[in-house]
Every structure is written in structure tokens, then in C-alpha cells.
């Protein structure tokens, strides 16, 4: 009888071990890796989430900016190779699942080597031109491009970013074949847009809208289906003559593959509560983001559909791999 009772006790301990680990998570420091320099849209979202996770779960979370490599490959690879214990997470944008279509040397599989935790937020992009360009809307802008295409150069903050794919969609719908220059970050590209060296850029609201509001760049349209509450004066791309056009950037949270389901569920639940909080929701909306907080399964399904959509855009636009 003693042996039976001992075996039963050991069995119960084994069954409760994983949930107990989740209950005590995090018991040590957690790095939320942002694979870009501080100051960009991904970093902005990460710092909001990190602050609130620390308030909810204790002062364990830090933002770890690990910039390098097109599409955030260096930071993402660091997370892919980390232990699946919840101590290393990845917070990045939609470019994470686009990069493998454009760079055949990515050292990880964006589906098999990561655990999707939650889709944090989505956000429209701002289509802008240089102040010196004599067009105040997208329809007039593309009319100018068609008249003299060699005078116009487009730009993206990163090869394969949401902004890059949005520009390719705009080019397709407008019927133009214009050079697109890929910069290393939004800052240099926006500087050249302000100076008139480039004539069109599509970029997140966080980095572009303040410049548009100060007249340093000229806003032409937003890529969402509806106008943004933060800037209701800016029309949508669809209102500018490209019927049905809608394109957003998005931001998610991942862990290395094999993260215990209980820790995945705890992180998803906490982040979902954070983005639903009225204060955080207002902060995100002010920055141009729509909070989501999806389940892990919903996020995995969303990733699959986004990869299918991105693959088609890249194929149709004949974007060459690096």
C-alpha cells in the first residue's frame, strides 16, 4: 500500500510540475528582443507592452534592441536559438514572416522555429511625398509620375517591409514601374523625403504622421479602409481612386519553438489584457495602432494567411531575392 501511495504521490507531483512553473513565471529576467534600433515603431510598441508586463508580473521584463541584418534577422535568429523557457521573447513586425521570401539565407524557419504567442496590434501606413512635389493627393501624384516617370524615385525603410509591399501594390494599381530604394531604417529615408531626394514613401504612422503634421513631409493617403481618428483630414488610398485598397502593418510576440503551453497561455492572456486596457488602447491608437491581443492559435492562422498574401505580392511584383 505504501508503494502504491508513493507512486500516486509522485504521479501527482509530475502532473502538477508544468502548471506550477507557469504559475511562478517569470522567476528570472525576460528579454523582449526588438530586432531594430530604439526609436522606431516596433520599439515603441515593445516599450508599452514591457512597461505593463512589469506592472502585472513584476520587474522582470526588459527591451533588448538587437539590430542588424535586413528584416531583423540578427535579433530573430538570437531568439530562435534561445532556450524555450520564456526568458527570451521576440517582438517584431510583419516583415519577420516576409523576409524568408526575399532572403534565401535566413538561418531559421519563421514557422517551425518559433512559438506564436499573440498578434498585438495592426496599423495602417501613411503614404507621403516631398513638400516640393506639386501634388496634394495620390491621384494627382501618380498622374505626375506617369507623365515623367524618370523624375520620381520611391523609397522604403527596409527591403521586404510592409511599407515596401504596400508601395509595390500602389505601383501595380497605378500602372507605374518606378525605382524603389531600400534604406536601412525609416530615419534616413524620411530625411531624404523631407529633402526631396525621393518622392514617395509608405511608412508607419508613428514615424511619419508627426512629420506630416509639421509639414516636413506631405501626407497623401492612409492605407486603411477607413480614415484614421488621429488624422481625419487624410483620405484613404481607396478614396484616392484605388478602389478596394487596404494594407496594414502588424506587430506580434513570439518565443522560441517548444515554449511550454502554460507559459504561452500566460503570456498571451497578460498581453491581451494589456492591449484591452483603456489607457494602453488609447496610447496605441494615438500612435496609429489598433490593439488586437489574439489567441496563439488565431495568430498562427493569421501568420499563414499573411505569408500567402505576401508571397503573391512579391511574385506579382517580380521582387528579386537578395
Q: pLDDT by residue (tens digit) across 305-314?
A: 999 999 999 9
- pLDDT the model gives residue 158: 84
- Same domain, residue pair 193 and 236: yes
- Same domain, residue pair 301 and 234: no
Question: Please, what's the b/e burial string for 299-308 (b: 16 or more CB within 10 A of its CB; e: otherwise)?
Answer: bbebbeebbe
Give the model's confidence band at 229: pLDDT under 50 very low, under 70 low, under 90 confident, else very high: confident
Angle at 54 between CA 51 and CA 59, to 5 degrees: 125
User: With contact defined as beta carbons under 8 Å apart, do 223 and 245 qualify?
Assistant: yes
The DSSP code for 234 is S
Give the model's confidence band at 258: pLDDT under 50 very low, under 70 low, under 90 confident, else very high: very high
CATH for 132: 3.40.190.10
- Same domain, residue pair 254 and 236: no
88-93 and 30-34 as β-strands: parallel, antiparallel, unpaired? Answer: parallel
For 38, phi then psi, to 5°, come to -65, 150
Which of 195, 211, 240 terminates a domain? The answer is: 240
- pLDDT the model gives residue 12: 47
- Same domain, residue pair 214 and 183: yes
- Same domain, residue pair 231 and 276: no
- Same domain, residue pair 253 and 104: yes
Q: Which tens digits make up the pLDDT trace of 127-136?
A: 999 999 999 9
Instruction: Name the residue with cell 481618428.
Output: 229
Tell me the mean pLDDT in the region 162-177.
92
How many domains would you assign to the chain? 2
- Same domain, residue pair 107 and 50: yes
Weakest mean pLDDT among 8-12, 23-27, 185-189, 299-303: 8-12
CATH for 77: 3.40.190.150
User: With contact defined as beta carbons under 8 Å apart, do 126 and 163 qualify?
Assistant: no
- pLDDT the model gives residue 21: 63
Q: Which domain holds residue 134?
A: 124-240
User: With contact defined as beta carbons under 8 Å apart, do 245 and 238 qualify?
Assistant: yes
More reliable by pLDDT, 100 or 185: 100
How far is the C-alpha of 289 from the C-alpha of 280, rounded, in Å? 11
User: With contact defined as beta carbons under 8 Å apart, do 79 and 90 qualify?
Assistant: yes
- pLDDT the model gives residue 17: 46
Which of 178, 208, 240 terminates a domain? The answer is: 240
Tell me the mean pLDDT in the region 3-23.
52
How far is the C-alpha of 305 from the C-alpha of 313, rounded, in Å? 13
- Same domain, residue pair 232 and 313: no
Does the residue 10 lie in any domain?
A: no
- Same domain, residue pair 135 and 231: yes
Q: Which tens digits make up the pLDDT trace of 195-226?
A: 999 999 999 888 899 999 999 999 999 999 99
114-129 and 218-222 as β-strands: parallel, antiparallel, unpaired? Answer: antiparallel
Element (H, E) at 263: helix 261-276
Q: Any residues with CB less than 8 A from the CB of 208 and at least 6 apart, and which?
A: 125, 126, 128, 186, 190, 201, 217, 219
Element (H, E) at 78: helix 73-80
Tell me the mean pLDDT in the region 7-21.
50
Which of 207, 240, 273 terminates a domain? The answer is: 240
- Same domain, residue pair 106 and 254: yes
CA-to-CA dists, residue 161 to 1, 86, 99, 182, 309, angstroms: 65, 27, 8, 9, 13
- pLDDT the model gives residue 224: 92
Give the model's confidence band at 157: pLDDT under 50 very low, under 70 low, under 90 confident, else very high: confident
Nearest by Cα to 117 from 77, 160, 88: 88
- Same domain, residue pair 209 and 135: yes
Does the residue 6 lie in any domain?
A: no
Q: Is the pTM of this model over 0.75?
A: yes
Does the residue 304 lie in any domain?
A: yes
E-assigned strands of the chain?
30-34, 61-65, 88-93, 114-129, 154-156, 180-182, 200-204, 218-222, 248-256, 290-291
- Same domain, residue pair 61 and 86: yes
Amino acid at each position: 500500500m505504501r508503494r502504491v501511495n508513493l507512486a500516486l504521490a509522485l504521479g501527482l507531483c509530475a502532473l502538477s510540475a508544468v502548471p506550477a512553473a507557469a504559475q511562478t513565471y517569470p522567476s528570472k529576467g525576460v528579454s523582449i528582443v526588438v530586432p531594430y534600433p530604439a526609436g522606431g515603431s516596433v520599439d515603441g510598441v515593445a516599450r508599452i507592452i514591457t512597461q505593463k508586463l512589469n506592472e502585472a508580473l513584476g520587474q522582470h521584463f526588459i527591451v533588448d534592441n538587437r539590430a542588424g541584418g535586413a528584416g531583423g534577422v540578427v535579433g530573430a535568429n538570437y531568439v530562435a536559438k534561445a532556450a524555450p523557457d520564456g526568458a527570451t521573447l521576440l517582438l517584431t513586425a510583419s516583415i519577420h514572416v516576409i523576409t524568408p521570401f526575399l532572403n534565401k539565407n535566413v538561418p531559421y524557419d519563421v514557422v517551425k522555429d518559433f512559438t506564436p504567442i499573440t498578434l498585438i496590434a495592426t496599423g495602417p501606413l501613411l503614404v507621403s511625398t516631398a513638400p516640393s512635389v506639386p501634388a496634394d493627393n495620390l491621384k494627382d501624384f501618380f498622374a505626375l509620375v506617369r507623365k515623367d516617370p524618370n523624375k520620381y524615385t520611391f523609397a522604403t525603410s527596409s527591403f521586404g517591409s510592409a511599407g515596401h509591399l504596400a508601395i509595390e501594390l500602389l505601383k501595380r494599381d497605378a500602372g507605374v514601374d518606378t525605382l524603389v530604394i531600400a534604406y536601412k531604417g525609416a530615419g534616413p529615408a524620411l530625411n531624404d523625403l523631407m529633402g526631396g531626394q525621393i518622392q514617395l514613401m509608405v511608412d508607419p504612422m508613428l514615424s511619419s504622421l508627426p512629420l506630416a503634421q509639421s509639414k516636413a513631409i506631405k501626407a497623401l493617403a492612409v492605407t486603411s479602409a477607413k480614415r484614421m481618428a488621429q488624422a481625419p483630414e487624410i483620405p484613404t488610398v481607396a478614396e484616392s481612386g484605388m478602389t478596394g485598397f487596404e494594407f496594414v502593418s502588424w506587430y506580434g510576440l513570439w518565443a522560441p519553438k517548444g515554449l511550454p503551453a502554460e507559459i504561452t497561455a500566460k503570456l498571451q492572456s497578460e498581453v491581451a489584457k494589456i492591449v484591452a486596457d483603456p489607457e494602453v488602447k488609447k496610447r496605441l491608437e494615438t500612435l496609429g495602432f489598433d490593439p488586437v491581443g489574439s489567441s496563439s492559435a488565431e495568430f498562427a492562422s493569421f501568420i499563414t494567411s499573411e505569408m500567402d498574401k505576401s508571397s503573391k505580392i512579391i511574385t506579382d511584383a517580380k521582387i528579386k531575392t537578395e
